């Protein structure tokens, strides 16, 4: 009995082993091996073999037949996205243009696709393969097999592309590793497609890759090599340590937070030791500028440095997250991402009403960030925006809007539940514009390439682009009329206002603005959703209803949606954004926030989350995105999680292992301040104490709270507009983070050193210099020009003129004295009053007073106390100046022209 039982058990194991073996599909041999000896009876597949091979040989590249004009009368779709067009152009030709087909199934060896590529006949693209090569044999076998198209006319779905090894760690330059790519198709077929793949390296200084997928180590560092096949894109990390501090030799580095743990795990592979944590003064300046776009005040610095509690940094972060400057600065960033521009919002609201659509947009976002409304809720208010609130009639809507724009009204547009201005922009009207803008704003994708052809570095095809556009076709933005269901109400409001229905354009807008000034209710344009109609049809024979395939749209990388099931086709789009499995929404925002703090994103550029542009630390991006979702899209959670880490708080001072690291976050990277922050920093550094205090709580007049942007604003003739343009404020002209620049320029140096606006800030009546002069009883005269050289014996000339004027007045020659006095005033305005600079009686210059004032200048500008050498030199300079005010003026000017002032570090 036991023998029987044992035999049955053995048989069961054998059967199970056979089942497992059958469950694992066999990998088909590489095509270059199968066709090496010559043509075969096997007919290559058009999608799996022929099109990828044309891509591998460069036939469908931009410089060859993939260009929009084609080459030599023959055109292929760029990167092989359009199988139907490619097949027809290969097999049919064009008799009218005397263009022969490239494929000849009757005489396969005479096919032009073979003869041109082997230079049997002239070919402007040069030789692409040898006669008798495996590539030649693949094409010849396909043509001999009848050059078949796709099976059942349908393209197959590539389930996944497996590339091994999944990570490459080199130990020395010149080391080599061969990649292997295996395609898994939905039909169950599995094939080694390495010879059909295209390969690229993201940094050829770190790693080179051959056309066959052989990776060669170069310099130390890390990058990715990328494999392309069909619509599969796989990025493989490549690392070569920068030091021998790897494995057991890596020093013990504390990881206080999960962020630190994931960053250090990557640094450990690279042999990079992170810098020490920065001191308190450096942390305070960095975090306040990053989080609020505002310099710390001198008193704030003193209190923070004096605080000895261990949790003072986390408490400071929480304090800043509750400040109005945090809401203002991060509203500015969201306005960058979502495309707020004066130029795009022209005529969205009536002209001449004292406020504009840009201000509405800014305040709507500001209100929600200040209340810590979850990020997905803010986005929902844009994505699902319509002009009318739920249950609101068109007349009630117009009454509410008229109240908002009435002079002196306390109502605000931010009270409205949604932001229809997002859809009312004139550069966001067409479905194609909306696809590109939406993908940029909320998904961090540059999808515009797929509008015309397959994306060269991502999975998106032209079909993906067109199908995604279906979500945006039903949203209508009308400037001068209502939705169709309210045309009667619109006409009634026009009639009540005494306006002709034929009025249009600027004339109508001027009259509406005038009526609003008088407190009247006027009609407004509105954003509304046109109902999606199903393709319901009536069967004439039995009068029954049937529905064919209705309007549909496809989510990027996800399912097709039947839009007839929704009253608003944007609802499934918003549901998809919130889904935990959405690969873009949370990561796009997380990545942008990270880039704001570290100079580069985990994916860089931050607005280009394509599959070839892999994250430098995928585990960290996944962790933060998952945490952001689990927190309920709480933006403050995300800020705290990053800012409380040692990774954020590290010093900018490098060590031997991390001096070249700019993408793995082992040290702080000094970053030039953004344009708005530069301008506000200049105003604050040079302002009196009451100005500094006001800037912490009141955002009116702050550059970080300026809603207006774009070329229309840049053309305004004011100092702030010019300064913001010089320092690279976002123009918001295109769907690209590159509209904002932090690159240094000579013009920025000239502005800080010589622009009249800077001198006016230093010498203004509510400035720090004027305050110091008042407090010490010193005379204060603004320096009109720092560059004009006074005439020789200037003081004597002025004294002589004053004596002459006094003499003329004594003699009763008042008219001549008046003329001479006017000339003297002009000269004093041009060169300054020499007496104003002279120390007057009672002016003190004690060492203690000057040391305190020098320290104050440092705290105002570079947010730290001067060291002993700096203090000694500065005091000596101020003492040697013609007056303390002159010395302090020069010191303040010098400090705002240091790198330490203009960068966050």
Tell me, what's the pLDDT at 901? Answer: 97
Q: Which residue from 588, 632, 707, 579 is spatially nearest to 377, judged by alpha carbons?
A: 632
**Two tokens, residue 676:** 């708005």
Q: Is the pLDDT of residue 121 over 70?
A: yes
Does residue 155 carry a pLDDT above 90?
no
pLDDT of residue 771: 95
pLDDT digits 0-9 by tens, 616-654: 999 999 999 999 999 999 999 999 999 999 999 999 999
Q: How confident is the model at residue 46 (pLDDT cuts 50, 70, 90)?
A: very high
Tens-place pLDDT, residues 268-290: 999 999 999 999 999 999 999 99
Antiparallel, parallel or unpaired: β 545-547 and 168-169: unpaired
Between these two residues, 175 and 347, which has the higher pLDDT value? 175
Report the DSSP pairing between strands 190-192 and 214-217: unpaired
pLDDT at 387: 95
pLDDT, position 89: 83
Q: Please say whether the beta carbons of 568 and 529 come within 8 A.
A: yes
Question: What is the CB-side half-sphere exposure of residue 312 using CA atoms within 13 A?
Answer: 15
For residue 183, what is the enclosing H or E element? Answer: strand 180-185
pTM above 0.75, yes or no: yes
Most confident of 319-328, 422-431, 541-550, 756-765: 319-328
Please, which pLDDT band fits residue 146 given cuts at 50, 70 and 90? very high
Q: Is the pLDDT confidence value at 752 over 50? A: yes
Long-range contacts of 81-88 (CB under 8 A, 24+ apart): 81/453, 81/454, 81/461, 81/462, 81/463, 82/462, 83/46, 83/47, 83/51, 83/149, 83/150, 83/155, 86/51, 86/54, 86/60, 87/46, 87/149
Q: What is the pLDDT of residues 570-625, one digit of tens each?
A: 999 999 999 999 999 999 999 999 999 999 999 999 999 998 899 999 999 999 99
Selected residue with higher pLDDT from 79 and 214: 214
Q: Which residue has the higher pLDDT, 353 or 784?
A: 353
pLDDT at 24: 62
Pull the structure tokens for residue 72: 């030599």
Cα dihedral across residues 41, 46, 52, 56: positive or negative: positive
Which tops the pLDDT comparison, 355 or 86?
Answer: 86
Which pLDDT value is given to residue 173? Answer: 96
**Strongest mean pLDDT among 59-73, 475-489, 532-546:** 475-489
pLDDT of residue 422: 95
Over residues 453-506, the pLDDT tens digits come to: 666 766 778 888 899 999 999 999 987 788 899 999 988 998 888 887 777 777
User: Can you list the domains of the chain with their CATH numbers?
Assistant: 2-26+156-270 (2.60.40.1080), 31-153 (no CATH), 843-905 (no CATH)
> What does 711-755 look like in DSSP terms, one character per residue?
HHHHTS-SHHHHHHHHTT-----SSSGGGS-----HHHHHHHHH-
For position 8, what pLDDT does the model report? 46
**Choice between 566 and 409, residue whose per-residue pLDDT is larger:** 566
**pLDDT classification of 534: cutoffs 50, 70, 90:** low
pLDDT of residue 661: 95
Span 678-683, average pLDDT? 97
């Amino acid at each position: 009995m036991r023998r029987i039982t044992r035999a049955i058990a053995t048989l069961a194991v054998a059967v199970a082993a056979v089942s497992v073996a059958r469950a694992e599909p066999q990998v088909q041999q590489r095509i270059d091996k199968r066709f090496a000896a010559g043509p075969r009876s096997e007919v290559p597949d058009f999608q799996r073999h022929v099109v990828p091979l044309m891509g591998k040989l460069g036939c469908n590249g931009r410089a060859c037949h993939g260009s929009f004009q084609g080459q030599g009368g023959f055109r292929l779709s760029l990167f092989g996205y359009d199988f139907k067009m490619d097949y027809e152009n290969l097999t049919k030709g064009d008799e009218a243009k005397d263009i022969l087909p490239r494929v000849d199934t009757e005489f396969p060896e005479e096919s032009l696709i073979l003869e041109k590529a082997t230079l049997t006949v002239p070919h402007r693209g040069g030789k692409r393969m040898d006669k008798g090569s495996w590539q030649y044999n693949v094409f010849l076998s396909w043509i001999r097999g009848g050059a078949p198209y796709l099976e059942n006319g349908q393209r197959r779905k590539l389930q996944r592309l497996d590339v091994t090894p999944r990570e490459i760690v080199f130990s020395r330059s010149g080391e080599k590793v061969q990649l292997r790519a295996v395609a898994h198709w939905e039909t169950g077929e599995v094939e080694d497609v390495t010879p059909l793949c295209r390969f690229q390296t993201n940094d050829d200084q770190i790693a080179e890759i051959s056309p066959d997928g052989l990776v060669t180590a170069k310099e130390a560092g890390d990058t990715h090599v990328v494999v392309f096949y069909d619509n599969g894109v796989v990025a493989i990390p490549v690392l070569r340590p920068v030091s021998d501090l790897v494995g057991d030799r890596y020093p013990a580095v504390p990881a206080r937070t999960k962020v630190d743990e994931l960053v250090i795990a990557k640094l450990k592979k690279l042999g990079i030791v992170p810098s020490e944590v920065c001191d308190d003064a450096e942390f305070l300046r960095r975090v306040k500028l990053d989080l609020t776009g505002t310099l710390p005040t001198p008193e704030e610095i003193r209190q923070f440095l004096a605080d000895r509690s261990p949790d003072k940094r986390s408490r400071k972060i929480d304090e800043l997250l509750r400040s109005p400057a945090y809401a203002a600065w991060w509203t500015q960033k969201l306005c960058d991402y979502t495309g707020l521009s004066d130029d795009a919002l022209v005529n969205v609201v009536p002209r001449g009403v004292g406020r504009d659509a840009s201000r509405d947009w800014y305040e709507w976002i500001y209100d929600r960030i200040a209340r810590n409304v979850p990020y997905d809720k803010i986005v929902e208010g844009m994505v699902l925006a319509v002009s009318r609130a739920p249950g609101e009639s068109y007349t009630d809507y117009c009454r509410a809007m008229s109240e908002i724009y009435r002079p002196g009204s306390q109502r605000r547009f931010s009270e409205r539940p949604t932001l229809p201005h997002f859809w009312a922009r004139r550069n966001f009207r067409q479905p194609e514009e909306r696809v590109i803008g939406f993908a940029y704003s909320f998904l961090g994708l540059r999808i515009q390439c797929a509008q015309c052809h397959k994306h060269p570095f991502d999975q998106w095809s032209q079909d993906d682009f067109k199908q995604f556009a279906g979500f945006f076709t039903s949203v209508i933005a009308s400037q001068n009329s209502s939705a169709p269901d309210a045309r009667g109400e619109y006409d009634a409001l026009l009639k009540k206002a005494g306006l002709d229905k034929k009025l249009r354009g600027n004339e109508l807008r001027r009259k509406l603005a005038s009526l609003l000034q008088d407190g009247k209710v006027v009609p407004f344009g509105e954003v509304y959703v046109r109902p999606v109609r199903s393709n319901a049809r009536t069967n004439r024979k039995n009068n029954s209803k049937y529905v064919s395939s209705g309007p549909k749209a496809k989510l990027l990388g996800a399912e097709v949606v039947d839009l007839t099931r929704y009253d608003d086709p944007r609802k499934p789009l918003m549901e998809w954004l919130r889904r935990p499995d959405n690969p873009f929404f949370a990561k796009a925002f997380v990545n942008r926030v990270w880039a704001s703090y570290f100079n580069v994103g985990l994916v860089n550029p931050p607005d280009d989350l394509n599959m070839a542009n892999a994250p430098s630390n995928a585990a960290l991006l996944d962790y933060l995105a998952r945490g952001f979702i689990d927190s309920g899209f709480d933006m403050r959670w995300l800020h705290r999680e990053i800012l409380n880490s040692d990774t954020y708080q590290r010093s900018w001072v490098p060590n031997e292992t991390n001096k070249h690291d700019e993408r793995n976050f082992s040290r702080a990277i000094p970053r030039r301040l953004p344009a708005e922050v530069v301008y506000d920093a200049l105003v604050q550094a040079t302002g009196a104490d009451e100005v500094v205090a006001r800037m912490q709580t009141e955002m009116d007049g702050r550059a970080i709270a300026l809603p207006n942007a774009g070329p229309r604003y840049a053309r305004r003739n004011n100092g702030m507009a010019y300064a913001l343009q010089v320092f690279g404020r976002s123009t918001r002209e295109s769907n690209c983070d590159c509209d904002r620049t932090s690159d240094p320029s000579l013009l920025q140096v000239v502005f800080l050193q010589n622009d009249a606006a800077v001198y006016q800030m230093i010498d203004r009546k509510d400035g720090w210099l004027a305050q110091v002069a008042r407090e010490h009883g010193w005379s204060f005269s603004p320096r009109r020009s720092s560059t004009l050289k006074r005439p020789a014996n200037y003081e004597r000339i002025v004294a002589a003129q004053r004596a002459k004027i006094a003499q003329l007045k004594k003699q009763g020659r008042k008219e001549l004295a008046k003329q001479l006095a006017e000339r003297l005033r002009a000269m004093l305005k041009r060169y300054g009053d020499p007496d104003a600079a002279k120390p007057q009686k009672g002016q003190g210059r004690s060492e203690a007073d000057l040391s305190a004032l020098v320290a104050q200048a440092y705290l105002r500008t570079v947010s730290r106390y001067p060291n002993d050498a700096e203090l000694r030199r500065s005091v000596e300079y101020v003492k040697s100046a013609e007056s303390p005010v002159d010395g302090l003026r020069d010191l303040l000017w010098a400090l705002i022209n240091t790198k330490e002032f203009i960068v966050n570090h």
